[in-house]
Amino acid sequence: MENNLNPKLYELNVEQESLREGFGRGLVRAGEKNKNVVALCADLKESTKVEDFANTFPERFVEVGVAEQNLVSVASGMAAMGKIPFAASYAIFSPGRNWEHIRTTICYNNANVKIVGSHAGLNVGPDGGSHQMLEDIALTRVLPNMTVIAPCDALEAEKATLAIAELVGPTYLRLAREKSPIIMTKESNFEIGKANVLVEPEESEVAIIACGLMVYRALIAARKLEREGIKVSVVNNHTIKPLDETTILAVTKKAGAVVTCEEHQQAGGLGSAVAELLAKTNPVPMEFVGVADHFGQSGSGAELMEHYGLGVDDIIEAVKKVIERKNGN
Amino acid sequence: MILTEEKKKYLEDKAREIRRSVIEMLVEAKSGHTAGPLGMADIFTALYFGILKHDVKKPEWADRDRLILSNGHICPVLYATLAEAGYLEKKELLTLRKYGSRLQGHPHREFFPLAETSSGPLGEGLAQAVGMALADRIDNGKNSQKFFYCLMSDGELEEGSTWEAVMLAGKEKPHNLIAIIDRNNIQIDGHTEEVMPLEPLADKWRAFNWHVLEIDGHNFEEIYAAIGQAKSVFNRPTVIIAHTTPGKGVLEFEGKYEWHGKPPTREEGEKALKELRTLNGRLKED
């Protein structure tokens, strides 16, 4: 049973597009729908894909230069005057460099600012560990008032952009640089705070809960496991905060074991959010696929995902391990 | 904006009342900052009782001027001035810093929406003021009737983020943005020029393409004249470097950095209230 998935998903020629491109399209559409949508950028207009918006609505675009603290606090001021600012940079700089400005001027003020962190995760590749943001989900989800969204593909990034423009309140949208497979369809549902169960076989043994580019790897892993006779569910958990407790509890109760997958430190991210929920409500054996307290390094995205234990085989291994623990071995 | 002798006397009386409230609040709170609020009482008085476009009956009036307090730690003077202007009961001032009070130790909009922004952490107010002015320009262009006043400390000019905002305003040139710096030369650890020299301060702002004015921040005539000039400068934002005496109004407190972050005890407070001089006639000499 597979819901709303791209029919070409498992083919070699599956369409590929980066999350940031989906965001760029969504931002122009959001700007067309609502004249209060404005955008700000810190010298990364082209690479964060704010450029189309800036060209379409030049009077609603502010270039602040290489100044990420200013980026978000200026955005907060614009929100105070009724605008819906999208403040875009690389995730390492925003919410990395400017975290306390986000805390005070956006979250503490409950200002309606959308923080867009592109180039998150290991997939920035050759740029190296200094630019591979692996702590942003942790940094943003601890902030009161903040909503945190990590879409799985370009279509979902576009839908998420439109959705957060209508959501009132501080929001973090996590994007990636590299092209990645289109997982969902134009028609598939996206709702903030509502996880999508993509695969749920009868008698599922493990629930894989993933976000961002790890959703694709989770689906491939599930497919391989199925050939070995191991049945797993796959959840696209695009909204890390507020967490869709209902859906996560339902799939984990059915499966009795969980593996979380994220291109992020194991500490503080999606896995931690799920563990916090399950520890309180339904403690079941759980494994975490994510970076284990390391910084990244230069290399191709694929090489680094393997190196840091985020490959398809790592997910398969985690699933087998958690089944053993569930069975008491 | 004409400052008659009568109006000047009126402002002096208001400023004295505000200083009185500040001392009473701090004594009652048993913590908080003394030097900054007393030093800025004259500027707050001039703003709320003569300069700002505001309406106590319509606090959320969309076309009001915005006062952004960047150095949130001097909020007792904001709260006291708003009470003096009728936005809140004076007796509420005595809840400052207490559990359940709207008057948080540093302003929080959730508790106290009369503050345009939450503040406390330094170096963030000017960026928000610039953002407000830019948003307003999108809607109203050069026809905007609003002014955005950002009140800042000199110490917070040591924050790098302040200069990010200074630079952006120098680029975008919002004509209706007016920054006012409380140049009182002190910060927690001592005198600014010893902790981290800020001079030549006026030259720094000029270099960032701002219109720069320097005034005696206790002289209502100079405050009025500077704001008048700032409003008439249409091709760039204006910064007013207001030279003030920290702790102004109480000899015991004046000019001493030790009073940056502590309140008077009850005894010190009572003495201060007694000593609180009428500002009448004295200020020009100071």
Give the separation between CA B279 and CA B9, rounded to whole angstroms.
9
Apex A22 CA angle, A21 and A23, nearest 5: 90
Q: What are phi and psi of A187, to 5 degrees?
A: -85, -20
pLDDT of residue B82 exceeding 50, the answer is yes
Contact status, residue A30 vs residue A165, Cβ threshold 8 Å: yes
Confidence at residue B284, expressed as pLDDT on a 0 to 100 scale: 40
- ipTM of this model? 0.95
pLDDT of residue B197 exceeding 70, the answer is yes
Q: Which helix (H) or strand (E) holds A258?
A: strand A258-265
Interchain proximity A78–B110, CB inside 8 Å: no
Name the DSSP class of B248.
Answer: T
Which one from A51, A68, A200, A263 is the annotated catalytic residue? A68
Confidence at residue B142, expressed as pLDDT on a 0 to 100 scale: 84
A35 CA: distance to closest CA in chain B (Å): 10
Give the separation between CA A306 and CA A260, rounded to whole angstroms.
16
Contact status, residue A15 vs residue A184, Cβ threshold 8 Å: no
Beta strands, E only, chain B: 66-69, 148-153, 177-183, 186-187, 190-191, 211-216, 238-243
Confidence at residue A1, expressed as pLDDT on a 0 to 100 scale: 38
- Which residues are within 8 A (CB) of B165 and not within 5 positions of it... i.e. 6 or more apart? A70, A73, A74, B126, B127, B129, B130
Residue B128 is nearest to which of A65, A77, A83, comparing CB atoms? A77
Q: What are phi and psi of A197, to 5 degrees?
A: -85, 110
> CB pairs below 8 Å between A and B: how many?
101
Distances (CA, A) of A14 to A7, A213, A286: 9, 14, 31
Give the separation between CA B79 and CA B1, rounded to whole angstroms.
24
Q: Which helix (H) or strand (E) holds A264?
A: strand A258-265
CA A51 to chain centre: 22
Contact status, residue A155 vs residue A185, Cβ threshold 8 Å: yes
| Catalytic site includes residue A46 | no
Give the separation between CA A124 and CA A213, rounded to whole angstroms.
12
Interchain proximity A104–B128, CB inside 8 Å: no
Q: Is B156 on the interface with A (CB under 8 A)?
A: no
Give the separation between CA B109 and CA A104, rounded to whole angstroms.
11
Give the sign of the dihedral formed by CA B31, CA B35, CA B38, CA B39: negative
Residue A69 is nearest to which of B118, B161, B171, comparing CB atoms? B161
Q: How many CB atoms lie within 10 A of CB A124?
A: 25
pLDDT (tens digit per residue) in A228-263: 999 999 999 999 999 999 999 999 999 999 999 999
List of chain A residues whose C-beta atoms are within 8 Å of the C-beta of residue B108: 108
Query: What is the arithmetic mean of pLDDT over B102-115?
Result: 97
A52 CA: distance to closest CA in chain B (Å): 19
pLDDT of residue B286 exceeding 70, the answer is no
Classified as helix, coil or strand, B17 is helix
Give the chain A residue whose CA is nearest to the CA of B169. Answer: A64
Confidence at residue A264, expressed as pLDDT on a 0 to 100 scale: 98
Which stretches of chain A score pLDDT less than 70?
A: 1-3
Confidence at residue B118, expressed as pLDDT on a 0 to 100 scale: 97
Interchain proximity A65–B116, CB inside 8 Å: no
Interchain proximity A65–B109, CB inside 8 Å: no
Whole-structure pTM value: 0.96
CB < 8 Å from A in window 82-121 of B: 108-110, 116-121
pLDDT band at B236 (very low <50, low <70, confident <90, very high): very high
What residues of A are in the B interface, CB distance below 8 Å? 38, 59-60, 62, 64-65, 67, 69-70, 73-83, 85, 100-101, 104-105, 108-110
Give the separation between CA B103 and CA B96, rounded to whole angstroms.
5
Query: What is the arithmetic mean of pLDDT over B177-189?
Result: 96
Interchain proximity B132–A60, CB inside 8 Å: no
Residue B131 is nearest to which of A67, A78, A100, comparing CB atoms? A78
Name the DSSP class of B265.
Answer: P
> For chain A, how are helix, strand and coil distributed in percent, rounded to 5?
40, 20, 35
pLDDT of residue B283 exceeding 60, the answer is no
Domains of chain B are 5-275 (3.40.50.970)
Token match 């008032």: residue? Answer: A145
List of chain B residues whose C-beta atoms are within 8 Å of the C-beta of residue A104: 118-121, 124
pLDDT band at B275 (very low <50, low <70, confident <90, very high): confident
Classified as helix, coil or strand, B234 is coil
B145 CA: distance to closest CA in chain A (Å): 14
Confidence at residue B278, expressed as pLDDT on a 0 to 100 scale: 52
Residue A77 is nearest to which of B121, B132, B161, comparing CB atoms? B132
Q: Is B71 on the interface with A (CB under 8 A)?
A: no
Confidence at residue A150, expressed as pLDDT on a 0 to 100 scale: 98
Give the separation between CA B154 and CA B172, rounded to whole angstroms.
23
Interchain proximity A73–B124, CB inside 8 Å: yes
Interchain proximity A82–B116, CB inside 8 Å: no
pLDDT band at B277 (very low <50, low <70, confident <90, very high): low
Interchain proximity A74–B117, CB inside 8 Å: no
Confidence at residue B2, expressed as pLDDT on a 0 to 100 scale: 82
Beta strands, E only, B49-165: 66-69, 148-153
From the number of C-beta atoms within 10 Å of its C-beta (0-12, 13-18, 19+), residue B176 rates as buried
Q: Is B182 on the interface with A (CB under 8 A)?
A: no
Classified as helix, coil or strand, A240 is strand
Domains of chain A are 16-181 (3.40.50.970), 196-326 (3.40.50.920)
Residue A67 is nearest to which of B108, B139, B164, comparing CB atoms? B164
Distances (CA, A) of A155 to A80, A244, A320, B118: 30, 21, 32, 37
Interchain proximity A73–B120, CB inside 8 Å: no
Give the chain A residue whose CA is nearest to the CA of B63. Answer: A81
Of A149, A142, A148, A122, nearest to A133 (Cα)? A122
* Orientation of helix B220-232 relative to helix B5-29, angle to 10°: 100
List of chain B residues whose C-beta atoms are within 8 Å of the C-beta of residue A110: 109-110
Give the separation between CA A265 and CA A262, rounded to whole angstroms.
8
pLDDT (tens digit per residue) in B30-39: 999 999 999 9
Residue B128 is nearest to which of A64, A65, A80, comparing CB atoms? A80
Q: Which residue, among A73, A86, A98, would best test binding to B if mutated, counting the most B CBs under 10 Å from its CB? A: A73
Beta strands, E only, A6-139: 16-18, 37-41, 61-63, 84-90, 114-118
CA B202 to chain centre: 18
